[in-house]
Structure 1
Amino acid sequence: MKRILIALLFTVAWAASFTAPVMAMTVVPEGNRNAVQPKVPGASVRRTRAGKTTFDDKYEKIRDLLATDKSLIGKIKSTAASYGIDPIHIVGAIVGEHTYNVDAYDRLQSYYVKAAAYAGNAFRFAYDGESIEEFLKRPQLATCEAKRDSYSLWTCRENVWEKSFRGRRVEGKAFPDNRFSAVFFQPFYAGQTFGLGQVNPLTALMLSDMVARTSGYPKLDENKAADVYDAIMDPDKSLAYMAANIRRSIDDYKSIADVDISRNPGITSTLYNTGGSAQRAAALKARGGLPEENYYGWLVNDKIAELKSLL
């Protein structure tokens, strides 16, 4: 009798595990939450005016490049499949970058030519004579060494920068009130472009493990800056880093905020533009509601039918 009772209780508990309410993940629908486009930053406006062009002209230029380069579209589709994302997310990020941040080259081959100009040069990541290798040996960053994967490691280092170095004087040396990536990882003149996907060198270092695991490209080393630039300037390689960036944003929103953004390219494009997907997902979880697109993502959603036709 006792055995029967135990078996019955086990069966009831097992059945209950299937009927207990489960919090459903919120799926962000297609389209924009904002009726009109959010304001475009002044820096983007000034850059476009300086180039004697318009946002409409820049959009049409990158759209036409994508429309006429079937090889590039094929690579976008293949890369997206490797990372388990819809290729429209990569298209959206490319369109946003070349509409608001840089101007597109006339053909994909030009990106390869520009990438080749970086190969073999004695670049290094440094600030005011202090190399990144020397900086990372500072005791404040010792806590990050326990991090095993590149995303956690560089996120930790970036957080330490914000807390202990940004805008401060440390051991007699003054550090700028600026982002870690801007201080140590952008040694060229203002407006320097970083390839088809406009990938930041620090972002590439963060995503190095995922790209190595998924695409088979060698892991990046911060002490070999030329290799990092090659990875983000070469169109084939940069597509992998773009896809990894988007995959990371989608995963962050699912795991942190219980929100699925994979059906809204405007949101993934917004995050591609702003960065900080983990922090933004945490903020969304705290306040609730749906994520909203910025000016960059708004354009992608507004043009979504035309962009999907490219695929």
Structure 2
Amino acid sequence: MRRLLTSLVIAMTIAGSVPALAAQAVPPGNRHAEQPDIPGASVRRTKGTKTTFDLKYEKVYDLLSTDHELMGKIKKVSNAYGINPIHVIGAIVGEHTYNVDAYDRLQAYYVKAASYAGESFRFAYDGENVDDFVDRPQFAACNGKSDSYTLWSCREDVWESDFRGKTIGGKSFPNNRFSAVFFQPFYAGQTFGLGQVNPLTALMLSDLVSRVSGYPKLNEKNAGSVYKAIMDPDISLAFVAASIRRSIDDYKEIAGVDISDNPGVTATLYNVGNSRQRAAALAAKNHSSGTTVWPEENYYGWLINDKLDELKGLL
């Protein structure tokens, strides 16, 4: 049902059945006066490492303010994807404030990436490789989709509607996200590298990154190449920029709103993912309400807008 509703809203928007919003620009700043609640898992993880969110923010800010090589790479990749570099900064700051600790220098990310070289990984659940799983008949509607973004988005929708939390052919599937079940062989909530990109997101954005940055296309049968892409700082930055570019385009094309001047919104979408489905939900809400409903920032995006003047000073 979720897959059908999302597809219908997207189709209606493209066909013009949903009133066009002429890509109205989202107003600057936060919609919430106070920061929304930070998830308990993030709070516990931060306390467990005997630090605070303020200290983690300061650490990643120091990395960005002192590593001129890194800032140069951020500006270059942002230009390639046609986005303001403040969006990439927002994603990196958000991830390293709420999810992981920043290293002191860019070189440490290269060292960490090298530690994964040669490792043997595969994407699977309960002994079933993901490439065999998506060959099941439930995924037949996805087979004609050649672009990696639409292909893996379709497969994710099928997972949600046909498999998540269900028992199919005697096999039970967890009530969890597709990325968490099949694409995290080490532990739940697993993301990697400078941009903290998860493997499914990398597979979705593979064609865009290959087209713009020239990196080889990724394949789910070669998990090692996927990990290399999201661990290597240079390639990872391309995926960060591509993710933000995709979110901006999804909201403009599906919901008729332009989020490109609100880094808090793009940071929120970088954090929560599923920009296509969220844009469709916003389009439906605007259509039913008859008035403009703006996308809202979460705790992660709220911080970026709140610190925006300071972060812009990095550029």
Question: Do these two structures clear the TM 0.5 threshold for a shared fold by scoring above it?
Answer: yes
Q: 1:199 to 1:287 in 2, by over 3 A?
A: same
Give the equivalent residue in structure 1 for 2:85.
87
CA contact (8 A) 2:122 2:222 kept: yes
Query: The residue matched to 1:118 in structure 2 has which SS?
Result: coil
Match runs of 1:47-62 below 5 Å: 47-62=45-60
Give the equivalent residue in structure 2 for 1:185.
183
Give the equivalent residue in structure 1 for 2:246.
248
Give the letter for the 2:192 counterpart. F
Runs of 5+ consecutive residues of structure 2 not aligned to the other structure: 1-19, 287-292
Match runs of 1:12-27 below 5 Å: 24-27=22-25
Query: The residue matched to 1:167 in structure 2 has which SS?
Result: coil
Match runs of 1:63-78 below 5 Å: 63-78=61-76
Give the letter for the 1:58 counterpart. K
State yes or no: 1:109 paired with 2:99: no
1:280 to partner: Cα distance: 1.2
Deviations 1:101-141 (A, max 9, x none): 11111211111111111112111111111111221221111
Give the equivalent residue in structure 1 for 2:8.
none
Provide the rounded CA distance (Å) in 2 between the counterparts of 1:168 and 1:161.
10
CA contact (8 A) 2:191 2:198 kept: no
Runs of 5+ consecutive residues of structure 1 not aligned to the other structure: 1-21
Larger displacement relative to structure 2 (235-244 or 159-168): 159-168
Give the equivalent residue in structure 2 for 1:293.
297
CA contact (8 A) 1:162 1:180 kept: yes
Q: 1:224 to 1:272 in 2, by over 3 A?
A: same
Give the letter for the 2:309 counterpart. A
RMSD (CA atoms) = 1.2
TM-score by length of 1: 0.91
CA contact (8 A) 2:180 2:188 kept: no
Give the equivalent residue in structure 1 for 2:29.
31
TM-score by length of 2: 0.90
The match for 2:307 among 293, 303, 308 is: 303
CA contact (8 A) 1:195 1:234 kept: yes
1:151 to partner: Cα distance: 0.4
1:193 to partner: Cα distance: 4.2
Give the equivalent residue in structure 2 for 1:9.
none
Query: The residue matched to 2:192 in structure 1 has which SS?
Result: coil
Provide the rounded CA distance (Å) in 2 between the counterparts of 1:172 and 1:282.
34
Provide the rounded CA distance (Å) in 1 between the counterparts of 2:189 and 2:204.
22
CA contact (8 A) 1:102 1:193 kept: no
1:25 to partner: Cα distance: 2.6
Give the equivalent residue in structure 2 for 1:6.
none
For these two proteins, the number of residue pairs brought into alignment is: 290
Moved over 3 A (4+): 190-193
Give the letter for the 2:215 counterpart. Y
Give the equivalent residue in structure 2 for 1:146.
144
Deviations 1:25-80 (A, max 9, x none): 31112211111101101111011011110000000000000001000000000000
Give the equivalent residue in structure 2 for 1:100.
98
State yes or no: 1:197 paired with 2:195: yes
Q: 1:292 to 1:302 in 2, by over 3 A?
A: same
CA contact (8 A) 2:251 2:276 kept: yes
Give the letter for the 1:199 counterpart. V
Larger displacement relative to structure 2 (164-173 or 257-266): 164-173
Deviations 1:228-281 (A, max 9, x none): 000001010000000000000000111111100000000000000011111111
Match runs of 1:222-301 below 5 Å: 222-288=220-286, 289-301=293-305
Greater Rg, structure 1 or structure 2?
1
Give the equivalent residue in structure 1 for 2:167.
169
Larger displacement relative to structure 2 (80-89 or 136-145): 136-145
Query: The residue matched to 1:146 in structure 2 has which SS?
Result: coil
1:23 to partner: Cα distance: 5.6
CA contact (8 A) 1:119 1:227 kept: no
Give the letter for the 1:231 counterpart. A
Provide the rounded CA distance (Å) in 2 between the counterparts of 1:23 and 1:103.
40
Provide the rounded CA distance (Å) in 2 between the counterparts of 1:36 and 1:195.
30
